[in-house]
A and B are shown apart, each in its own frame.
Chain A
Amino acid sequence: MTKEQYIKGIVSNVHCSNKRKKEIKKQLEADIDLRLENGESFEEISEQMGNVLEIAEGFNTSMPESEQTNYRRTKVSRLIIVIIVLLFLLSCVNYWFTAKTYPLENSKIYNQAEVERRIKETVDILDAQDYETLQEKSSVILMPMLTKERIDEARLKVSDQPFGERKSIGEIVCTELVQGSDHYAVGEIKVNYENVSVVYRITIDPEMKLAGLYMR
């Protein structure tokens, strides 16, 4: 072990303020250099002085109360700062992943007219019960769920009787949904049928594929 490593080892294990640590380092350096000047070897000096932890322990048990209090306060302050930074980072991550909505007309990815057209087309395909075409126009993830059985199941949750003939179709209200780096166009449209009124929420992905379907 070199003189520098020896001193560094002691100082890093002493519980006191940084100002005091610098003082201790300077004093230890001066003491050791003095003894080296007197002809002692570093090995003899370090043996006489004791091992790094012993010396540090000596400092720690005899350090004035004010220093020990300062050290504890510094430790707590550092811990608080670390916690604050972690919380800030967590909230940034949370913000990044939380879904946010924006007006679709401001989108740089979607054309509102195109989205509205696709949404209306989806309703037409559903009413025609053309599940094959519906699946073709869907994303890979959604495709397996767009079977006759699952859609009939969803319809039953809206009304226990058949919807009947379509009577009218309302305006489409669209927004852009951003979650992390994913962008979706989401539209809601109200359709009045003979026996029931249904609101469809249809999600379109950047490839203009159907990415979500919800009815109530």
Chain B
Amino acid sequence: MNEKYERQMKKGVLDMLVLKLLQSEPKYGYQIIQEMKEKSEETFVLKDGTLYPILYRLEDDKLVLSKWSEAEGKKVPRKYYEITDEGRKALGQIGQVWLTISIGIKKIMEEE
């Protein structure tokens, strides 16, 4: 399949998927990449260069907050991202938009 089109289609939903993954609990970058890969059964395999700018943008928009964990002995400190109340609200709205778009797409694609 043409990778360019696949990449474009996926790009549009990444913000929503990242917010969804953060809905349950705060997570760090690598954890988000791993979960997205596993839960989507490898449909979404994000690279660091794609994920972090999304997180920066969500943080600039105040939809997520970030915080470094305390260094514990030799354990590597991690930067955790947590969804905010505004982020939960935005996720709900984006989810509705996604449903509407999916229905519209389905109607066109199923046409003979």
Taking Cβ atoms with an 8 Å cutoff, the residues of A that contact B are 10, 20, 24, 26-28, 30-31, 33-35, 37, 49-50, 54-59, 61-64, 66-67
Contacts and interface: CB of A to CB of B under 8 A. Distances in A.
Interface in B28-48: 28-30, 47-48
Query: For the complex, would chain B's binding face be called helix, strand, loop or mixed by DSSP majority?
Result: helix
A59 B78 contact: no
Contacts of A57: 49
A30 B76 CA distance: 6
Given A30-B79, A37-B76, A55-B47, A64 B30 contact: no
A20 B56 CA distance: 9
Interface in B46-101: 47-50, 52-54, 56-57, 60, 76-79
Contacts of B60: 64, 66
A28 B48 contact: yes
Interface residues of B, number: 17
Contact of A33 (B53, B56, B76): B76
B107 to A, nearest CB: 31
Interface of B: 28-30, 47-50, 52-54, 56-57, 60, 76-79
A103 B3 CA distance: 80
B76 A64 contact: no
Contacts of A34: 28, 30, 76, 78
A62 B50 CA distance: 7
A161 to B, nearest CB: 88
Nearest to A55: B49
Given A62-B57, A63-B53, A64-B56, 4 more contacts: A27-B29, A27-B48, A30-B29, A30-B78
A24 B29 CA distance: 11
Contacts of B54: 62
Nearest to A53: B49
